[in-house]
Amino acid sequence: MRRLLLRSGAFVRAARRLVRKHPHRAGDLQTALALPADDAFHPQLRTHKLKGHLAASWACSVGYDLRIVFKFVQHEGSEALLLETVGTHSEVY
């Protein structure tokens, strides 16, 4: 089941900042966004539930130190992923 990816304003700003600071990461990010749409629990993503103040969210790994934080939401009657932010481990947690 292919899910729709909904990008929050914070995610768009964080992605632009990431690509501006690390242009070589643009391809990793683009590739990583295709995987959760098809299978949010693909082994390559190492998707995991978060705790603490991010307890309602999930995170997946994109490369060594790049994380995407997202939530499962309903959008127009089907399941979608709301992309909340992207960045290094220390930036998103």
Give the domain CATH number at 34.
3.30.2310.20
What residue numbers bound the domain in which 43 lies? 4-92
What's the pTM? 0.89
pLDDT greater than 90 at residue 24: no
E strand spans, the chain: 4-7, 48-49, 58-61, 66-75, 78-88
Q: What is the pLDDT of residues 71-85, one digit of tens each?
A: 999 999 889 999 999
Selection from 19, 43, 30 nearest residue 83 by Cα: 30
Q: What is the pLDDT of residues 31-67, one digit of tens each?
A: 778 888 888 898 989 999 999 999 999 999 887 788 9
DSSP, res 76 = T
Residue 60: the pLDDT is 92
Instruction: State how many domains the chain has.
Output: 1
